């Protein structure tokens, strides 16, 4: 008969029965370290592989994490430790991945901080010109402040992230700020972009158990590439991520530029051309394209703006071009450096002029157009109106358009000098010659210059001093006209108006 | 470590601000060169708090209030971390491993010290006599920022392609180059605002640190090449001028530095009158032995005076400093001798340096003076007319006042004025007339041009104002 209880063996000793084996962490197991692992650890600690920005403490933590994970996954033997990336490099790569993906969001936040110091076109916070530059920055930044579509699906990088305790908040912010500075407005160099793509295009040698940021990298480095094929496209300010179907890729943009150029030549429709060019600039910025085409687009826009005296737009293009030339992208830098000098002469901005002169290289100063612009500057600085007007008639490229804006006030200034110095009177012909009213040699009417000169004098209150002599010659009584022209001169130089972009 | 605490106690008991400041200075005093090292090694992170508490609160030779003691506690804790970082960086530096010297962490940890000091002041824990501490934190913040930026720039250059590392982009302009310095500027600005906003009575006020902090800010902004920010400082100082004590009551060193920077700012704004006043004051009050400072002041004072008073520096003055001599002597000699060729050559030779200091454009105006001297020479070289019966009365022989434009042209030619050539070997007389017209317009000469007759008629008396002719 079996008892109605279950027999349990009585304890005979104090020894506890074996507890079910607890899941020991891999650390406490006696793991055999292969020479490969040992070599890896050695390399990580080696002074030569020390990376700036990753301290030894972080590196050690990461090393422990890497090895722990490998051991847990039972891959200590299978991983090729000789080519496995060192912990410090893993940390750096992940930091940068993190920074780049959040850089676009951080850009707006950091923009205000950066634009006060970013020297694009000699930025100085309080100048009125800054408004234009800020507008430019804002426009581009708005276009870029978008979160690219792929970023929304950027899954959590997994446990590696969590274990990345080494990265302090400060370094994170510093990285973000660096990225933001670097990436503001102009994105990355196309050539570097290509290299990056190549680097991450191939399968990385590490095995898959490490959910690594590198898997995300093709998406990260591959900026938006458009698919739109239409050559003409109007400009709309972006306030959302642009869909690739609305963005034109590089080859289409090249066609578009030629198309716009020929249309401009034939029709001279400024509003249309401006609109089209702005949208092209937008497409280029959104796709981070910075190459010769970008330079050509900005140059074309600048020239067109100059012709139509749109100084606001011109200044925007000029600023961008300066930054692009600094990246060593080939373009007509001689021409545009000369324009920049003339522009600064026009705005009478002494600080800018100082900065500009400091920036000029020896090579720049050899170029004829730049030399011409510098001579204009020095002539005006010393008040040598005679030389200035000769130079005005002789301006290379489209410099004459810029000088046109200066000519009016310089003529008044010259008149003030002439009135004070010459007594009792001078011939109208002399004034017309000095003040470059005889510009066009092939004008059929030889007296056109004289008439224009007369008009100019009368416009500025000089009529009472004109005298028609019996022999047909017209004389101007300089002695009596001093006060009038002196007042005009003061008024002309009092305020220089920079037309800003609305 | 004891020497540090002894100094601290002495300073506290005798209200010696400067001595107090040396206790938290990154540079160990000459009497105790191993101070920082001892401080760092004399305690460790575990026992730091208790050590400090013992030294600050339970120290029989010190009598600190609780709030004050707490504030110093914080400061010295931060100072401990800082010394660790600094020593590590210095060691790497001296061990010929400069790349490893991590100045940016040194900067960050010093910033912590600054924040602790700032909190002490904003919490009103410290009395006014301790403000030299503010001087110390501000001054070294700037120095460390510059070091950190230099290192960042150097590391960007050297950074190779470790596995997976992104290639650094070229720094865009000065923005990332001066990151730490910009940050330092913001920090010092906080201190400035703190000093400015102090409402305590004058004897106990932090306002005495105002000008020193302002000077620090000027130095920083100048280095960052952002003059408008400096103007902000000037504006704030002017706005609170009714509350702050007169500049003349501040230490002379503060005054001289302040006037120097204000002078340079005025100069850059083309306000030459104020610039002259400020720079002259700075020059005259400056300590005679501070030759480098004198040189800097003169660098801007000379072009200013050239413009306002048409005065050139004397040879003795220029010879006080080799740099000044090199830069300015050829120019001055050329102007005095009315030698255009030499003037152009001298200007070009020093162009880079002038442009860098932003005095090139001003020195160009020296050409006007040169031309005036030239015209004057022509005038003096002219024949002396016999005294007219109705003219000088007592028979004062006067020089002819009618000078043919031709002669002036010839003189210009001789002096090397290439601009008057008309390209065909002759002289463009219109150009010559223009130059004369300018001189007349600018009141360097008194007279007029009679174009039809080809003469320049000068005034009988005082044709060249300011030169006694």
Number of H helices, E strands in chain A: 22, 3
SS3 A278: helix
What is the distance between the alpha carbons of residues A381 and B416, in angstroms, rounded to a whole number? 20
More confident position, A265 or B32: A265
Q: In this complex, do A384 and B434 lie within 8 Å of one another by their Cβ atoms?
A: yes
Give whole-number Cα distances, A108 to A137, A239, A247, B126, in Å: 10, 13, 22, 40
Strand B455-458 with B402-404, pairing: antiparallel
pLDDT at res. B168 = 34
Q: Which two tokens stand for residue B107?
A: 């900067």
Give whole-number Cα distances, A145 to A116, A137, A183, B120, B251, in Å: 19, 11, 11, 40, 51
Sign of the torsion formed by the C-alpha atoms of A466, A469, A472 and A478: negative
Which helix H or strand E contains B456, and what residues bound it? strand B455-458
- A to B CB pairs, distance under 8 Å: 156
Chain B: give the shortest CA distance to residue A382, in Å.
Answer: 7
Comparing CB atoms, the residue among B169, B355, B434 nearest residue A182 is B169
In 3D, which of B457, B459, B445, B460 has the Cα closest to residue B375?
A: B445
What is the distance between the alpha carbons of residues B384 and A81, in angstroms, rounded to a whole number? 100
Q: In this complex, do B437 and A417 lie within 8 Å of one another by their Cβ atoms?
A: yes
Averaged pLDDT for residues B269-275: 88
B410 exposed, middle or buried (CB, 10 Å; 0-12, 13-18, 19+)? Answer: middle
Least confident range from A69-78, A387-396, B275-284: namely A69-78
Chain B: give the shortest CA distance to residue A265, in Å.
Answer: 36
Q: What is the DSSP letter of B48?
A: H
Give whole-number Cα distances, A477 to A57, A428, B437, in Å: 87, 10, 16
pLDDT of A202 > 50? The answer is: no
What is the distance between the alpha carbons of residues A131 and A110, in angstroms, rounded to a whole number? 17
pLDDT of A32 > 70? The answer is: no
List the Cα angle B206/B207/B210 in 5-degree steps: 115
Sign of the torsion formed by the C-alpha atoms of A281, A284, A290 and A293: negative
Cβ of B189 under 8 Å from any chain A Cβ? no
Q: Give me the count of residues in chain B.
A: 469
For chain B, the C-alpha Rg in angstroms (whole number) is 31
Neighbours of A350 (CB within 10 A): 15
| pLDDT digit string, tens, across residues B84-139 | 888 888 887 777 766 666 788 888 888 888 888 888 888 777 777 788 888 888 88
Comparing CB atoms, the residue among A351, A355, A421 nearest residue B436 is A421
* Contact between B125 and B67 (Cβ < 8 Å): yes
* Contact between B55 and B80 (Cβ < 8 Å): no
Where do we find the tokens 């506890």?
A16
Chain A: give the shortest CA distance to residue B306, in Å.
Answer: 15
More confident position, B74 or A53: B74
What is the distance between the alpha carbons of residues B257 and B286, in angstroms, rounded to a whole number? 9
**Mean pLDDT of all residues in chain B?**
80
Where do we find the tokens 């160009």?
B364
What is the distance between the alpha carbons of residues B136 and B21, in angstroms, rounded to a whole number? 6
What is the distance between the alpha carbons of residues A323 and A290, in angstroms, rounded to a whole number? 10
pLDDT at res. A106 = 46
pLDDT of A338 > 90? The answer is: yes
pLDDT of A283 > 80? The answer is: yes
pLDDT at res. A301 = 92
pLDDT-derived band at A125 (thresholds 50, 70, 90) equals very low
Chain B: give the shortest CA distance to residue A392, in Å.
Answer: 15
Specify which residues A476 forms β-bridges with: A426, A466
Chain B: give the shortest CA distance to residue A32, in Å.
Answer: 28
pLDDT over 70, % of chain A: 65
Question: What are the φ/ψ torsions at residue B444 (nearest 5 degrees)?
Answer: -85, -20
Cβ of B160 under 8 Å from any chain A Cβ? no
Which helix H or strand E contains B384, and what residues bound it? strand B384-385
What is the distance between the alpha carbons of residues A313 and B62, in angstroms, rounded to a whole number? 68
pLDDT at res. A223 = 66
Q: Which two tokens stand for residue B203?
A: 């004897």
pLDDT-derived band at B157 (thresholds 50, 70, 90) equals low
Q: In this complex, do B441 and A416 lie within 8 Å of one another by their Cβ atoms?
A: yes
**Mean pLDDT of all residues in chain A?**
72
Cβ of A434 under 8 Å from any chain B Cβ? yes
What is the distance between the alpha carbons of residues B229 and A413, in angstroms, rounded to a whole number? 33
The gap between the terminal CA atoms of chain B, to the nearest Å, is 74
* Contact between B29 and B22 (Cβ < 8 Å): yes
Cβ of B423 under 8 Å from any chain A Cβ? no
DSSP-assigned letters across all residues of B328-346: HHHHHHHHHHT-HHHHHHH
What is the distance between the alpha carbons of residues B131 and A294, in angstroms, rounded to a whole number? 55
Least confident range from A91-95, B281-285, B450-454: namely A91-95
Question: What are the φ/ψ torsions at residue A73 (nearest 5 degrees)?
Answer: -85, 0
Averaged pLDDT for residues B396-417: 80
Least confident range from A82-91, A93-102, A275-284, A492-501: namely A492-501
Neighbours of B203 (CB within 10 A): 9
Q: Which residues in chain A touch residue B182, judged by CB atoms under 8 angstroms apart?
A: 117
* Contact between B88 and B103 (Cβ < 8 Å): no
Where do we find the tokens 């002439």?
A418
pLDDT-derived band at A54 (thresholds 50, 70, 90) equals low
pLDDT-derived band at A298 (thresholds 50, 70, 90) equals very high
Q: Which two tokens stand for residue B321?
A: 């400093």
SS3 B427: strand
pLDDT-derived band at A204 (thresholds 50, 70, 90) equals very low
Q: In this complex, do A357 and B436 lie within 8 Å of one another by their Cβ atoms?
A: no
What is the distance between the alpha carbons of residues B5 and B358, in angstroms, rounded to a whole number? 48
Q: In this complex, do A124 and B228 lie within 8 Å of one another by their Cβ atoms?
A: yes
For chain A, the C-alpha Rg in angstroms (whole number) is 35
pLDDT-derived band at A303 (thresholds 50, 70, 90) equals very high
pLDDT of B395 > 50? The answer is: no
Give whole-number Cα distances, A48 to A51, A278, A338, B153, in Å: 8, 50, 49, 20
Specify which residues B448 forms β-bridges with: B457
pLDDT-derived band at A98 (thresholds 50, 70, 90) equals low
Q: What is the DSSP letter of A422?
A: B
Closest Cα in chain B to A55: B102
The answer for residues whose C-beta is within 8 angstroms of residue B229's C-beta and 6 or more apart is: A125, B185, B217, B221
What is the distance between the alpha carbons of residues A287 and A186, in angstroms, rounded to a whole number? 10
Contact map slice: A 22-81 vs B, CB within 8 A: 49-52
Least confident range from A7-16, B47-56, B342-351: namely A7-16
What is the distance between the alpha carbons of residues B269 and B275, in angstroms, rounded to a whole number? 9
The gap between the terminal CA atoms of chain A, to the nearest Å, is 105
* Contact between B433 and B452 (Cβ < 8 Å): no
Averaged pLDDT for residues B329-340: 87
Where do we find the tokens 């952002």?
B226
Chain A: give the shortest CA distance to residue B165, in Å.
Answer: 5
What is the distance between the alpha carbons of residues B401 and B455, in angstroms, rounded to a whole number? 9
Where do we find the tokens 């009368």?
A458
More confident position, B183 or A500: B183
DSSP-assigned letters across all residues of B78-127: HHHHHHHHHHHHHHHHHTT-GGG--HHHHHHHHHHHHHHHHHHHHTT-S-
Q: In this complex, do A384 and B419 lie within 8 Å of one another by their Cβ atoms?
A: yes
Q: Which two tokens stand for residue B454?
A: 């080809």
Sign of the torsion formed by the C-alpha atoms of A174, A178, A181 and A183: negative
Contacts 24+ apart (CB under 8 A), B288-293: B291/B320, B291/B321, B293/B256, B293/B260
Which helix H or strand E contains B140, and what residues bound it? helix B132-158
pLDDT at res. A300 = 92
Least confident range from A104-108, A405-409, A427-431, B160-164: namely B160-164
| pLDDT digit string, tens, across residues B421-430 | 665 666 788 8
pLDDT at res. A484 = 85
B348 exposed, middle or buried (CB, 10 Å; 0-12, 13-18, 19+)? Answer: exposed
The verdict on pTM exceeding 0.80 is no
SS3 A108: helix
What is the distance between the alpha carbons of residues B223 and A205, in angstroms, rounded to a whole number? 47
pLDDT of A110 > 50? The answer is: no
Q: In this complex, do A188 and B169 lie within 8 Å of one another by their Cβ atoms?
A: yes
Specify which residues A427 forms β-bridges with: A475
Q: In this complex, do B165 and A92 lie within 8 Å of one another by their Cβ atoms?
A: yes
């Amino acid at each position: 008969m079996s008892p109605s209880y279950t027999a349990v063996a009585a304890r005979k000793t104090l020894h506890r029965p074996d507890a079910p084996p607890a899941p020991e962490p891999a650390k406490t197991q006696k793991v055999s370290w292969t020479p490969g692992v040992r070599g890896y650890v050695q390399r990580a600690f080696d002074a030569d592989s020390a990376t700036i920005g990753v301290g030894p403490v972080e590196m050690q933590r990461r090393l422990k994490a890497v090895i722990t994970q490998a051991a847990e996954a039972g891959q200590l033997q299978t991983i090729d430790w000789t080519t496995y990336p060192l912990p410090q490099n893993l940390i750096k790569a992940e930091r940068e991945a993190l920074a780049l993906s959040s850089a676009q969001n951080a850009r707006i936040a950091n923009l205000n901080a950066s634009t006060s110091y970013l020297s694009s076109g000699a930025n100085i916070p309080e100048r009125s010109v800054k408004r234009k530059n800020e507008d430019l920055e804002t426009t581009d930044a708005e276009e870029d402040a978008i979160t690219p579509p792929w970023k929304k699906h950027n899954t959590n990088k997994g446990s590696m992230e969590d274990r990345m305790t080494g990265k302090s908040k400060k370094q994170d912010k510093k990285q973000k700020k660096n990225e933001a500075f670097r990436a503001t407005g102009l994105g990355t160099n196309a050539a570097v972009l290509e290299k990056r793509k190549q680097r991450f295009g191939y399968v990385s040698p590490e095995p898959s158990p490490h959910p690594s940021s590198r898997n995300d990298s093709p998406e990260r480095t591959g900026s938006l590439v458009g698919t739109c094929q239409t050559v003409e496209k109007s400009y709309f300010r972006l306030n959302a991520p642009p869909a690739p179907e609305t963005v034109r890729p590089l080859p289409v943009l090249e066609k578009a530029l030629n198309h716009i150029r020929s249309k401009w030549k034939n029709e001279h429709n400024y509003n249309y051309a401006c609109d089209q060019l702005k949208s092209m600039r937008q497409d280029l910025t959104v796709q981070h394209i910075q190459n010769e085409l970008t330079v050509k687009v900005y140059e074309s826009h600048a020239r067109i703006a100059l012709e139509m005296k749109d100084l606001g737009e011109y200044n925007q293009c000029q600023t961008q071009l300066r930054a692009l030339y600094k990246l060593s992208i080939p373009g007509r830098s001689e021409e545009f450096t000369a324009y920049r000098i003339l522009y600064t002469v026009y705005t009478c901005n002494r600080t800018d002029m100082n900065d500009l002169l400091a920036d000029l290289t020896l090579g720049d100063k050899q170029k004829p157009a730049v030399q011409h612009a510098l001579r204009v500057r020095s002539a005006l600085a010393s008040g040598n109106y005679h030389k200035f007007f000769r130079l005005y008639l002789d301006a290379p490229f489209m410099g004459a358009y810029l000088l046109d804006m200066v000519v009016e006030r310089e003529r008044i200034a010259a008149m003030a000098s002439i009135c004070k110095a010459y007594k009792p009177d001078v011939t109208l012909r002399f004034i017309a010659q000095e003040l470059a009213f005889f510009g066009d040699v092939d004008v059929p009417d030889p007296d056109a210059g004289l008439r224009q000169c007369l008009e100019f004098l009368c416009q500025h209150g000089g009529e009472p001093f004109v005298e028609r002599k019996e022999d047909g010659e017209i004389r101007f009584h300089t002695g009596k006209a001093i006060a009038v022209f002196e007042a005009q001169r003061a008024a002309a130089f009092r305020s220089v108006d920079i037309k800003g972009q609305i | 470590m004891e020497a540090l605490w002894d100094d601290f106690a002495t300073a506290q008991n005798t209200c010696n601000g400067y001595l107090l400041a040396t206790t938290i200075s990154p540079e160990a005093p000459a009497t105790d060169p191993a101070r920082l090292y001892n401080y760092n090694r004399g305690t460790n992170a575990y026992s730091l708090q208790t050590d400090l508490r013992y030294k600050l609160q339970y120290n029989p030779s010190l009598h600190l209030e609780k709030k004050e003691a707490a504030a110093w506690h914080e400061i010295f804790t931060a100072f401990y971390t800082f010394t660790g970082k600094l020593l590590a960086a210095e060691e790497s530096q001296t061990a010929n491993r400069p790349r490893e010297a991590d100045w940016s962490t040194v900067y960050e940890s010093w910033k912590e010290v600054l924040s602790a000091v700032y909190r002490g002041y904003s919490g009103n824990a410290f009395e006014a006599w301790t403000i030299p501490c503010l001087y110390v934190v501000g001054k070294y913040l700037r120095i460390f920022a510059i070091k950190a930026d230099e290192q960042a720039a150097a590391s960007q250059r050297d950074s190779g392609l470790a596995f997976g590392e992104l290639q650094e982009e070229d720094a865009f302009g000065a923005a990332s180059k001066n990151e730490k310095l910009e940050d330092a500027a913001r920090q010092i600005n906080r201190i400035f605002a703190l000093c400015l906003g102090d409402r305590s009575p004058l004897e106990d006020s932090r306002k005495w640190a105002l000008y020193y902090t302002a000077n620090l800010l000027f130095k920083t902004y100048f280095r960052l090449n952002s003059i408008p920010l400096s103007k902000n400082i000037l504006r704030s100082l002017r706005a609170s001028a009714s509350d702050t004590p007169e500049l003349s009551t501040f230490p002379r060193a503060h005054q001289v530095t302040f006037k120097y920077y204000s002078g340079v700012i005025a100069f850059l704004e083309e306000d030459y009158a104020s610039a002259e006043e400020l720079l002259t004051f700075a020059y005259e009050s400056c300590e005679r032995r501070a030759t480098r400072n004198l040189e800097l002041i003169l660098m801007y004072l000379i072009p200013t005076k050239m413009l306002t008073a048409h005065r050139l520096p004397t040879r003795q003055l220029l010879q006080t400093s080799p740099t000044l001599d090199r830069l300015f002597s050829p120019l001055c000699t050329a102007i005095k001798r009315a030698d255009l060729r030499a003037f152009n050559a001298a200007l070009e030779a020093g162009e880079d340096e002038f442009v860098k200091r932003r005095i090139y454009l001003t020195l160009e105006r020296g050409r006007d003076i040169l031309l005036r001297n030239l015209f004057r020479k022509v005038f003096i070289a002219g024949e002396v007319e016999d005294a007219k019966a109705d003219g000088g009365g007592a028979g004062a022989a006067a020089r002819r006042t009618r000078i043919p434009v031709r002669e002036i042209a010839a003189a210009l030619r001789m002096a090397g004025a290439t601009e008057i050539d008309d390209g065909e070997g002759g002289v463009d007389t219109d150009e010559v007339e223009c130059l004369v017209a300018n001189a007349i317009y600018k009141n360097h000469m008194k007279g007029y041009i009679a174009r039809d007759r080809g003469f320049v008629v000068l005034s009988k008396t005082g044709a060249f104002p300011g030169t006694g002719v």
